[in-house]
Amino acid sequence: MTQPGEFYQRDRSIQPPAFTPGYKTSVARSPRYSMISLQNSVSEITGPRFGHSDIDAGDNDLLTNYAKAGESPIGERIILHGRVLDENARPVPKTLVEIWQANAGGRYRHKKDTYLAPIDPNFGGCGRTLTDENGYFYFRTVKPGAYPWRNMVNNWRPAHIHVSVFGTGFAQRLITQCYFEGDPLIPICPIVQTIPDQGAIEQLTAKLDLNATIPLDSIAYKFDIVLRGRRSTLFENRLEGN
Amino acid sequence: MPQELAYLKESASQTAGPYVHIGLAPGAAGFEIYRQELGRDMTGPNAKGERIRVEGRIIDGMGAPIKDVLLEVWQANADGHYAHPEGGGEVEEGFRGWGRVISDFDTGEWGFDTVKPGATRGRNVGTQAPHLNLWIVARGINIGLNTRMYFSDEAEANAADPVLNLIEWENRRGTLIAERTERDGMPVYRFDVRLQGEDETVFFDV
Ligand SMILES: [Fe+2]
């Protein structure tokens, strides 16, 4: 008989290190001493859980969740959908997925964003949902625009949607970004390039999903998210009380 | 030919960026959109235990407070139970033990109200001293930083804590211990996190 144990050790060879000089802001914001490696205790294998009383059904529809009645945001209508899985390829059900993004012109609805492109009066730019029992989630939104940022003088972010996911334990907590297949800005983005592994970058690139596209309505992109998996442990004395 | 293992790889992390508030705290970005923002009320109305406040700053390598940081807090209740099926026991109705906190855009100060957690069970035997689990994200932080906050008035429990004792350099353990003071009769713990420098806070690879 087995029971779930601790999470697999995080594979740091595919994760961005803290110190990445090409992304200048990381220089002063990166710890320099080695992290202390911690075998998971109850503090790491547990994490917050969310339910349908926390969010509303329309929170995952960015086409309508901030638009005036009868209006819609400007931009290419898309569906972003996929599954949250763990490293054992098992779905992660009922977990909270939150997203945020710029509008179709590359402008964020944020008091600190001063980019020239205009705010869209019908677009808030955030959404959230819970995965279903198969780990599946979807959002309706517009494809975000590329935008310039201060790093080197002429850096542009590829179109991207920021994604936050929980999982079942606090050790799985993850924030990442979803890119779009075919974007020529991906390989030259200093933030993308903090990731040391090409396969890991491809895993963050949503693929055009023609089968999920709604004819005459919206183009679909598929984006699966993988969280850390847990060991199945035999009843071991060493895990007493775990 | 060797068999392929069917494991997947964890998705790579990317920075939360400067506009993290839009997604996780839209009121701070400057607009209202959701019926409720999550993580504002850490304990619910029925939590037992001592009511406390925790305040601090996240300080960068230049000595400047980070003004666009977001922290999440995960903690046990006063009995040392997490609100989770494997959390060690029952918690009060409405207790989640999770909070989301952002720094002030002008000063970098953050703070939140909660209850002081109890000791939690240790990994093998014994207990862990009362602590808060913190996860820190911001522009310039490529992958969320995990650390813990312990309590200065728990010296005995801290001295026996298995995680603090993992830190080979005794002088670094103090970076995880918040100093207790009082304001208007309420306990206030001060916890400044230093990302670099001689007194760099201890971070954990969990
Ligand atoms: Fe962004």
Shortest Cα distance, chain B CAs vs residue A194, angstroms: 8
For residue A42, the model assigns a pLDDT of 96
Residue of A nearest to B142 (CA): A18
Residue of B nearest to A166 (CA): B72
Tell me the CA end-to-end span of chain B in Å, nearest whole number: 34
Q: Which residues of chain A have pLDDT under 50?
A: 1, 239-242
For residue A234, the model assigns a pLDDT of 59
Residue with token string 């929170």: A59
Residue with token string 């964890």: B10
B203 belongs to a structural domain: no
For residue B123, the model assigns a pLDDT of 84
Show residues of chain A in contact with B7, CB under 8 Å. 87-89, 229
Contact A44, A7 (CB under 8 A): yes
Inter-chain CB proximity B12 and A226 less than 8 Å = no
For chains A and B, what is the number of CB pairs under 8 angstroms?
A: 275
CATH of the domain at B119: 2.60.130.10
B63 belongs to a structural domain: yes
Residue of A nearest to B27 (CA): A110
Contact A98, B20 (CB under 8 A): no
**In sequence order, what are the residues at sequence separation of 6 or more whose Cβ sits closer than 8 angstroms to the Cβ of residue B23?**
A98, A99, A100, A126, A128, A162, A164
Task: Report which secondary-structure segment, H or E, holds A45.
Answer: helix A42-45
Contact A46, B86 (CB under 8 A): yes
Contact B202, B167 (CB under 8 A): yes
Q: What is the pTM assigned to this prediction?
A: 0.96
B200 belongs to a structural domain: no
| Structure tokens belonging to residue A143 | 């494809």
Shortest Cα distance, chain A CAs vs residue B186, angstroms: 26
- Does B202 score more than 90 pLDDT? yes
For residue A240, the model assigns a pLDDT of 43
Q: How many domains does chain B have?
A: 1
Domain that holds residue B133: 20-194
Which of A33, A35, A175 has its CB closest to that of B16? A175
Inter-chain CB proximity B12 and A86 less than 8 Å = no
For residue A232, the model assigns a pLDDT of 82
Q: What is the DSSP string of chain A?
A: -EEEEEEPPP-TTSSPPS--TTSTHHHHTS--SPPEE----HHHH------TTTS-GGGGBTTTSSSPTT---SS-EEEEEEEEEETTS-B-TT-EEEEEE--TTS--SSTT---SSPPPTT---EEEEE--TTSEEEEEEEPPPPEEESSSTTEEEPSEEEEEE--SSGGG-EEEEEEETT-TTGGG-TTGGGS--HHHHHHTEEEE-GGG-BTTTBEEEE--EEE--EEEEE--GGGTT-
| Structure tokens belonging to residue A57 | 């059904």
Query: What's the mean per-residue pLDDT of chain B?
Result: 96
Residue with token string 């997490």: B82
Question: If DSSP codes are grouped into helix, strand and coil, which group holds residue B2?
Answer: coil
Show residues of chain A in contact with B162, CB under 8 Å. 41
For residue A241, the model assigns a pLDDT of 43
Residue of A nearest to B205 (CA): A37
**Are β-strands B58-59 and B193-194 bridged in parallel, bridged antiparallel, or unpaired?**
parallel
| Structure tokens belonging to residue A233 | 């442990």
**In sequence order, what are the residues at sequence separation of 6 or more whose Cβ sits closer than 8 angstroms to the Cβ of residue B172?**
A33, B200, B202
- Give the model's confidence band at B186: pLDDT under 50 very low, under 70 low, under 90 confident, else very high: very high
For residue B62, the model assigns a pLDDT of 97
For residue A235, the model assigns a pLDDT of 55
Q: Higher model confidence: residue B114 or residue B4?
A: B114
| Structure tokens belonging to residue A170 | 């606090």
**If you measure from the C-alpha of residue A145 to the centroid of ligand 1, how many angstroms do you get, rounded to a whole number?**
10
Shortest Cα distance, chain A CAs vs residue B142, angstroms: 6
Which of B15, B34, B143 has its CB closest to that of A191? B15
Domain boundaries, chain A: 18-26+39-240
List residues, by chain if needed, whose CB lies under 5 Å from ion ligand 1: B 17
**In sequence order, what are the residues at sequence separation of 6 or more whose Cβ sits closer than 8 angstroms to the Cβ of residue A195?**
A14, A15, A16, A201, A204, B12, B14
Residue A12 to residue B10: CA distance in whole angstroms: 10
B8 belongs to a structural domain: no
Contact A230, A86 (CB under 8 A): yes
Which of B11, B105, B140 has its CB closest to that of A25? B140
What would the pLDDT profile of B163-181 be if each residue is shown by its tens digit? 999 999 999 999 999 999 9
- Does B3 score more than 80 pLDDT? no
What would the pLDDT profile of B9-49 be if each residue is shown by its tens digit? 999 999 999 999 999 999 999 999 999 999 999 999 999 99
For residue A242, the model assigns a pLDDT of 39
- Does B5 score more than 90 pLDDT? no
Query: Per DSSP, what are the bridge partners of residue A138?
Result: A81
Which residues of A are marked as active site?
Answer: 108, 147, 157, 160, 162
What would the pLDDT profile of A82-125 be if each residue is shown by its tens digit? 999 999 999 999 999 999 999 999 999 999 999 999 999 999 99
Contact A176, A167 (CB under 8 A): no
CATH class of A18-26+39-240: mainly beta
Q: Which of A93, A96, A95, A78 is nearest to A139 (CA)?
A: A78
**If you measure from the C-alpha of residue A82 to the centroid of ligand 1, how many angstroms do you get, rounded to a whole number?**
20
**In sequence order, what are the residues at sequence separation of 6 or more whose Cβ sits closer than 8 angstroms to the Cβ of residue A92?**
A84, A85, A86, A131, A135, A167, A168, A227
Query: Which amino acid belongs to residue B53?
Result: R
Angle at B14 between CA A125 and CA A149, to 5 degrees: 65
